[in-house]
Structure 1
Amino acid sequence: MERSITWDDGAIRTLDQRALPDEHRTLRLTTIDELIEAIATLAIRGAPAIGVAGALGVALAARLHTVDGRLDETAVLADAKRIATARPTAVNLTWAVERALFRLPQGADAVLDEALAMLDGDERTHRAASRRAADLLRQQCGKGPLRILTHCNTGRLATTAWGTALGTIRELAASGEVQEVIVGETRPLLQGARLTAWELVEDGIPHRLCVDSASAWAIASGLVDCVVVGADRITTRGDVANKIGTYALAVAAQRAGIPFVVVAPESTVDERLLDGSGIMIEERASDEVTHHGGRRMAPEATPVFNPAFDVTPSDLVTAVVTESRILVPGGDLADRIAACTRVVPDFPTAGVSFQDLGPVYADATLVRDTAAAMHRAFQGRFDSVLALEARGFPLGAVVAQRAGTPLVLARKPGKLPGTVDSVQYGLEYGSDRLETQSGALTPGAHVLVVDDVLATGGTLEAAARLVERSGARVSGLATVLELTALGGREKLAAHEVFAARHVT
């Protein structure tokens, strides 16, 4: 797919989005001032696109400030700060600038390599998110063809290739699962009418354009199966900043009982913000509203309210989908774990549906919240954590850190140096052992045992015996997942068991 942004022998080449759809015009940006103007005037727009452009801008600054082989890092840092503040709401810009700057001590070529890595990875990132979002919509809405409403532009113009929400629509359309896309015009600069419609025509995807104020009525009239949008910033709680008008669509979608799905890269998630109250909302020039086609449309003395973005609270969002996870804001912990768990059929043997928790562990926020739930379940009742090999280790470490307690690791035979305490336990075929270093569990300690899955209960029962043989006490057993049909809880009846999610 043709890229909207490229590196061109010491310059940033980009498609000028201000000229579309009338003219396919490219810009060759050779100075930092030109780049900042292009971002501020929306020649380059879309959170992922301006992020990549910002990284390339740092590379450009590093080249411009290298004279006779000497790099002026102070000058580069000053230019980078100007770039990062060109559009304050989209977190991708700051993220990308900081990532490029990390390589600055290694020289201009290293900065360029980092920026080009972001450019090259952009399409892969968004294709992965699109596939994940398309699968979610199939689950939520059933097999297509679907009637989808989208807002603003989230395609290859807003990224560098493919797109986020529009990439999801492309993914569904490729398998014949799109009946129609309803496109809001996106006032005041008409990114939906000028850009999204242009991309849909380019791809031959059926669509209709409507004024923004008709979008909610289209939803209420039963013309829409789901709403799919992008994002400029997402908080850890799942509040979403996006193009102005998004909040109204989320309200209408919830009222109609249809999914409202946000598709964006991980770089759009701002881990420093808990909720939307901390998001700076950019307000743009009044003449974008008072004028059209160079002609004044409102009285001279009329003041203007022209926010570029709004914030949709997490309780209106069905799911946030990135290249690596599905976040279900406002959903309970079990629902979020379920959304991230990958079911692998016939593994490790035929007839077994394996619950792969790998995507759960890849989601830092979900790991944190799962550990917090384990901590709350036994708060004040343990002073040590015993984590079981291997997937109990990362969760056990977070629980111990949160509680401020020691962490002890229980390993399989031959993994620990020195003398060990050991217990044997039975498997379906044969047996195994759990070991801890002698003295690691203090007599009289109150121990919380942490593992990933409770199945038949053999491993956790062995861990409990290991604790008791050391002279310590079992405060509780905590797992991410319990496979209830296998009866493990009955084997552990002497102990309190917490599982964040239960699967029958």
Structure 2
Amino acid sequence: MTSQPATSAREFSVDWADGAVLAIDQRRLPAETSWLRLTDVDQVIEAIQTLAVRGAPAIGLAGALGVALSAHLHAGAGPAADARVRADAERLIASRPTAVNLEWGVRRVLTRLPDGPAAVLAEAVAMLDEDAALNTRAVARAAELVLSLTPDRPLRLLTHCNTGRLATGSVGTALGAVRRLADAGRVAEVLVDETRPLLQGARLTAWELAEAGVPYRVLADSAAAAAMAQGLVDCVLVGADRIAANGDTANKIGTYGLAVAAARHGIPFVVVAPESTWDRQLPDGSGIVVEERASEEVTTFAGARTTPEGAGAYNPAFDVTPAELITAVVTERQVFRPAGGRTTPAATAGQATTPGPAATSEATAVPEATATSEATATPEATDGEVAARIVGLLRGYPDHPRPGVVFQDLSPLYAEPGLLAELADRADALFAGAYDRVLAVESRGFVLGAVIAARRGVPLTLARKPGKLPGATHQAAYTLEYGTDSLELQRDAVAPGDRVLVVDDVLATGGTLAAVAELVAAADAKVAGMAVVVELTGLGGAERLADHRVAALSEVAA
């Protein structure tokens, strides 16, 4: 491992050049900007473990490049080469257990190992460009969300640890959003938590903000809650190292306390992270392994002991913030508002304990329209009451469109003020936000599907009848209670691996939704669930879809 005052040929914090992994040595900042040249896997592991390379996305990229380095070094080892590379990959994964991006990056490039070292390297290098593009999209979403949650004036933002270009390949996540807001003239000041015990905020975030010319002040971690009480914070922006399926989020130690304080003072608490940070296999944060680091990080400072000889230390590197304390998790693909999470700061905006103009509710107030449109909390009405309202508004038309069929018209539901939004929130809450996009079925599924997608902040995709979608499509045929038909989905409309919530208005025989499930499978995606307004019982639809979770907001006998 060598250190040199060089730079990456491209604007990345980790990179590849001349058969080696390059990385900014973050241990030396802000005093010195130098690059490490890592020529074997042990050096990559050491750089990750000693935090020369840190930040969940950055170590994911470093891990991917480490696998490429191993493949390069073992290229002449014959049949044993693959086994040696895979063994190095497992050691890379184990080097830091909390950040899921590390394993994600390593596993991803390993899929190219059968194609040879050049293919592994090409995949790793492609991930660098992808990281920049994905972070740019996430940053844009996060900045837009922050503006919707905060007063219309230059903002006072608070951040923790480092989530800028040093923590990613480039651009950054939460700090990238801060810089985007600053570029738009919307930042008055950034309060930078020093982030004990290794001072990633004071050393790294402050350095990045100074480099960008963004006004900031460093504060002790323990001063953050006081700053909120004084009305000095409009929004808290943090990153993440691992996110459970329900939105529980592991991040640098001290994040949980910030979330508690933000909730107390009605301040939006926003997590910005790439989709690769989600661990969909973990239902909640209780399964996140939290790394505990050496006691010397706490008992000494700059090599000098600050505690009595023999003092022990509790030094977890991360903590887990419950989803209920998080306003939103923003990725390149979605704005995820956890079920039961803080959907609007307005509910507690007046709780600042220190009087005076700076601590008034204006500091954290959300426009009334935002408080309504962002809501994901369960409405006060019970499920039975909502179902009764739906059934009471339905209009049945016998013998339409064929003799013997009773057509259920949902138009009166959509005309009822506020009900459509309530139905969308109800459907969303049933799936706890555990989906990446909404797939709405032509044509009556478009109505509810569009509202769910808009309120959850995820992409909306349309399954349409033949001939209505341009370009290459997947197609699936199905039978109805009164005939046959087919649906199409554009081939690039759903990304492989997407968790798709399928939305339609009525479930009858289940043919339509079964066809949509075929379309989702053809796109290499997964049906996260199916939501309908009305289930016509007695037609076998639910039984036909037994392999999927189907949520009907009401039931009517066919």
Report the CA distance shift for 1:474/1:278 in structure 2 as closer, same or farther (over 3 A): closer
Alignment of 1:346-365 (within 5 A): none
Cα pair 1:327 1:339 within 8 Å, conserved: no
Please name the residue that 1:177 is paired with.
186
Report the CA distance shift for 1:473/1:189 in structure 2 as closer, same or farther (over 3 A): closer
Alignment of 1:228-247 (within 5 A): 228-247=237-256
Please name the residue that 2:81 is paired with.
72
Report the CA distance shift for 1:367/1:80 in structure 2 as closer, same or farther (over 3 A): closer
Shift of 1:449: 8.1
Please name the residue that 2:227 is paired with.
218
Report the CA distance shift for 1:417/1:237 in structure 2 as closer, same or farther (over 3 A): closer
- What amino acid does structure 1 have at the position aligned with 2:291? E
Please name the residue that 2:333 is paired with.
324
Cα pair 1:447 1:472 within 8 Å, conserved: yes
- What amino acid does structure 2 have at the position aligned with 1:435? D
Q: Show CA shifts across 1:403-452 (max 9, x none).
A: xxxxxx9956998889x7796xxxxxxxxx97379xxxxxxx96368789
Report the CA distance shift for 1:301/1:65 in structure 2 as closer, same or farther (over 3 A): same
Q: Show CA shifts across 1:153-183 (max 9, x none).
A: 0001001111000000011011100000000
Report the CA distance shift for 1:448/1:333 in structure 2 as closer, same or farther (over 3 A): farther
Please name the residue that 1:378 is paired with.
none
Separation in 2, partners of 1:411, 1:324: 26
Separation in 1, partners of 2:555, 2:225: 55
Q: Paired residue for 1:447, among 487, 490, 509?
A: 509
What are structure 2's unaligned runs of at least 5 residues? 1-9, 345-370, 377-420, 450-462, 469-474, 488-506, 517-533, 544-549
- What amino acid does structure 2 have at the position aligned with 1:176? G
- What amino acid does structure 1 have at the position aligned with 2:91? R
Q: Does 1:62 align with 2:71?
A: yes
Please name the residue that 1:484 is paired with.
none
Q: Paired residue for 2:136, among 127, 130, 139?
A: 127
Please name the residue that 1:435 is paired with.
485
Q: Paired residue for 2:265, among 231, 238, 256?
A: 256
Cα pair 1:413 1:434 within 8 Å, conserved: no
- What amino acid does structure 2 have at the position aligned with 1:189? L
Separation in 1, partners of 2:464, 2:178: 47
What are structure 1's unaligned runs of at least 5 residues? 342-354, 372-386, 397-408, 424-432, 438-444, 453-462, 481-488, 498-504
Q: Show CA shifts across 1:459-495 (max 9, x none).
A: xxxx99xx99xx948899xxx9xxxxxxxx9xxx995
Q: Does 1:107 align with 2:116?
A: yes
Please name the residue that 2:312 is paired with.
303
Cα pair 2:247 2:322 within 8 Å, conserved: yes
Shift of 1:90: 0.3
Separation in 1, partners of 2:233, 2:476: 59
Q: Paired residue for 1:275, among 268, 280, 284?
A: 284
Report the CA distance shift for 1:59/1:475 in structure 2 as closer, same or farther (over 3 A): closer
Number of residue-to-residue matches in the alignment: 412
Please name the residue that 1:150 is paired with.
159
- What amino acid does structure 2 have at the position aligned with 1:26? W
Cα pair 1:388 1:411 within 8 Å, conserved: no
Q: Paired residue for 2:49, among 40, 43, 48?
A: 40
Report the CA distance shift for 1:474/1:220 in structure 2 as closer, same or farther (over 3 A): same
Separation in 2, partners of 1:204, 1:370: 37
Does the residue aligned with 1:67 lie in a helix, a strand or coil?
coil
Does the residue aligned with 1:288 lie in a helix, a strand or coil?
helix
- What amino acid does structure 1 have at the position aligned with 2:339? G
Q: Does 1:161 align with 2:170?
A: yes
Report the CA distance shift for 1:221/1:340 in structure 2 as closer, same or farther (over 3 A): closer
- What amino acid does structure 1 have at the position aligned with 2:176? G
- What amino acid does structure 1 have at the position aligned with 2:129? D
Shift of 1:84: 0.6
- What amino acid does structure 2 have at the position aligned with 1:219? M
Report the CA distance shift for 1:313/1:172 in structure 2 as closer, same or farther (over 3 A): same
Shift of 1:6: 1.0
Does the residue aligned with 2:509 lie in a helix, a strand or coil?
strand
Shift of 1:119: 1.0
Q: Show CA shifts across 1:313-370 (max 9, x none).
A: 01000000000001101348999996699xxxxxxxxxxxxx9x9xx99xx9746599
Does the residue aligned with 2:185 lie in a helix, a strand or coil?
coil
Report the CA distance shift for 1:59/1:276 in structure 2 as closer, same or farther (over 3 A): same
Separation in 2, partners of 1:275, 1:176: 38
Please name the residue that 1:83 is paired with.
92
Q: Show CA shifts across 1:67-89 (max 9, x none).
A: 07767110001000000111100
Separation in 2, partners of 1:170, 1:417: 49
Separation in 1, partners of 2:72, 2:22: 16
Report the CA distance shift for 1:249/1:62 in structure 2 as closer, same or farther (over 3 A): same
Cα pair 2:339 2:432 within 8 Å, conserved: no
Separation in 1, partners of 2:112, 2:28: 35
TM-score by length of 2: 0.65
Separation in 1, partners of 2:477, 2:333: 36
Q: Show CA shifts across 1:38-79 (max 9, x none).
A: 000000000000000000000000111110776711000100
Alignment of 1:417-436 (within 5 A): 435=485
Q: Does 1:18 align with 2:18?
A: no
Separation in 2, partners of 1:258, 1:330: 18
Cα pair 2:477 2:485 within 8 Å, conserved: no
Cα pair 1:239 1:314 within 8 Å, conserved: yes
Cα pair 1:325 1:340 within 8 Å, conserved: no
Please name the residue that 2:59 is paired with.
50
Cα pair 1:410 1:435 within 8 Å, conserved: no
Shift of 1:496: 7.8
Please name the residue that 1:379 is paired with.
none
Separation in 2, partners of 1:416, 1:20: 57
Cα root mean square deviation, aligned? 4.4
- What amino acid does structure 2 have at the position aligned with 1:272? Q
Q: Show CA shifts across 1:370-418 (max 9, x none).
A: 99xxxxxxxxxxxxxxx9558969x99xxxxxxxxxxxx9956998889
Shift of 1:135: 0.6
Q: Show CA shifts across 1:137-165 (max 9, x none).
A: 11111333110000000001001111000
